[in-house]
Structure 1
Amino acid sequence: MATVRALACAERETFADLLESLTPPQWDAPSLCAGWTVRDVATHTIAYLGQGRIALARNMFAARWDVGRLNANALARLGSVQPGRLIELMRRAEPTGAGALYGGRVALIECLVHQQDIRRPLRIPRAVDPEALRAALAFARISPVIRGARRTRGLRLVATDLDWAAGRGPEVRGTGEALLLAMTGRAAHLAGELAGGGVALLDRR
């Protein structure tokens, strides 16, 4: 069984491969993240490499503890970084800085989810490593950073393509990928991919 850090490293390499395959128009295409292009998502994903807890706390203070403002500041700071450099930085596979938090689980989820933020609008599907999905699902559901616990409280989540389920309450069934995207606040982009009595509650959150 691979470690979480090894899974995160593999996801960064896969992400870099994806970015390397994109055409110039695709870099400027919209992503699933409102107001962000594909390039913005790639920039955001490498923005906190090497940024330790102290630097992150300092930047959070400067952003008045507003995550949206924090991310906007990071995009403004790195807005001139060219695609080739973004790909090079993405290939620094070892999670560092904020991405290394919680044993690399933050980096793993970040790369899994942000790849889909790019792949889905561009219609570039992939088969996600089941082991990586299981590790990401388990952490996203309880993570204080991702807030999956708030979104899925009182629900039972059941993956239809993995041996994974968690929680109690009305069921939400879907692929592991769809459940992970729902836990990270992307339920609005999953029309028809989730089923069960808990879907309406999940959508409202």
Structure 2
Amino acid sequence: MDLKPLARDERADLAAFLETLTPEQWEAPSLCAGWRVRDVVAHMISYEGLGVRDLAGRLAQGRLTVNRTNAVGVAGSSERTPDELLAMLRQRLQPTGLTAGFSGLIALTDGVIHHQDIRRPLGMSREIPAERLLPALRGALKLPVIGGFWRARGVRLVATDLDWSRGSGPDVRGPAEALLMVIAGRRGIVPELSGPGRQRLADRVERPPRDG
């Protein structure tokens, strides 16, 4: 299934939301440790259109660690204004290059997670369309860079608002969006979940990042 149209819709919704933010909200912290809203947007833009050779160069700059490599991309847009970042995002709604991988699963999963990284700390919730949320859950468990498979191993994830479950072991139950954000490694969300497997998942999510 081609997921790129869904990724484009997710990015378009994010762009429309960002357009409503005040300058102060653009500077507010996100769920990504150490990143403001503007940094999350810069991160998303920084990977758009990257090919294999470009990615290899960035990985070398980041000394082959995920967080440092991400920081390289964000630093490249650190001087851009919110209006410039928003304009760049609007120009990159259609996934290309690396983000179009796995039929657009990378772009869709990345878009849904980072949209929530911005919205949650601002207290501005939304209802994510199920046709985007379900593939994003699959992507979070499948894509190695996210690490969801490692965090969710040995538990059974059960969405209470969608017909979705994955894994085996003691149950961890909760809204699909909360499950997504927890297996993506976002802290402070585990209390929204329930079930005998919750502590096992919490032990993996709430620990400090491995590569700084």
Normalising by structure 2, report the TM-score: 0.92
The residue aligned with 1:13 is: 12
Residue in 2 aligned with 1:170?
Answer: 170
Report the Cα offset of residue 147 of structure 1.
Answer: 1.0
Matched letter for residue 172 of structure 2: V
Find out whether 1:52 has 2:12 as its counterpart.
no
CA contact (8 A) 1:154 1:169 kept: yes
Asked if the contact 1:15/1:90 (under 8 Å) is kept, the reply is: no
Structure 2: distance between partners of 1:84 and 1:191 = 34
The reply to whether residue 37 of structure 1 matches residue 36 of structure 2 is yes
Q: Given that residues 174 and 194 in structure 2 are in contact (C-alpha distance below 8 angstroms), is that contact kept between their aligned partners in structure 1? A: yes
Residue 191 of structure 1: how far off its partner (Å): 4.5
Unmatched tracts of structure 2, length 5 or more? 205-212
Question: Which AA in structure 1 matches 2:142?
Answer: I
Aligned to 1:44, what secondary structure does the other structure show? helix
Measure how far apart 1:3 and its partner are: 3.6
Corresponding position of 1:61 = 60
**CA offset at residue 21 of structure 1?**
0.7
Question: Residues of 2 paired with 1:174 and 1:107: CA distance?
Answer: 24
Query: How many residues get paired?
Result: 203
Match of 2:208 in 1: none
2:94 corresponds in structure 1 to 94
For the 8 Å contact 1:49–1:98, the answer to whether it is kept is yes
Which range moved further: 195-204 or 94-103? 94-103
Q: Hey, what's the Cα distance between the residues in 2 that align with 1:112 and 1:141?
A: 14
Measure, in 2, the Cα distance between the counterparts of 1:87 and 1:44.
Answer: 12
Q: Could you report, residue by residue, the CA deviation over 1:135-187 in whole angstroms, capped at 9, with x for unpaired residues?
A: 1112211222211110001111111111111111011111110111011101x
Query: Does the residue aligned with 1:32 lie in a helix, a strand or coil?
Result: coil
Output the TM-score relative to the length of structure 1: 0.95
| In 2, Cα distance between equivalents of 1:176 and 1:167 | 14
SS at structure 2 position matched to 1:138: helix
Matches of residues 79-118 of structure 1 in structure 2 within 5 Å?
Answer: 79-91=78-90, 92-118=92-118
Q: Report SS of the residue matched to 2:142.
A: coil
1:146-185 maps to which residues of 2 (within 5 A)? 146-185=146-185
Find the residue that maps to 1:21 and give its secondary structure.
coil
For the aligned residue pairs, the C-alpha RMSD in angstroms reads 1.3
* Matching of residues 121-200 of structure 1 within 5 Å: 121-186=121-186, 188-200=187-199
- Helix, strand or coil: the match of 1:189? coil
Q: CA deviation at 1:33?
A: 1.3
SS state at 1:157 partner: strand
Code of the residue aligned with 1:128 in structure 2: it is I
User: Sequence identity, in percent?
Assistant: 47
Superimposed CA distance per residue, residues 15-68 of structure 1 (whole angstroms, 9 cap, x where no aligned partner): 101111100110111111111111111111111111112210121022210111
Runs of 4+ that moved beyond 2 A:
none
Q: Distance in 1 between matches of 2:33 and 2:143?
A: 23
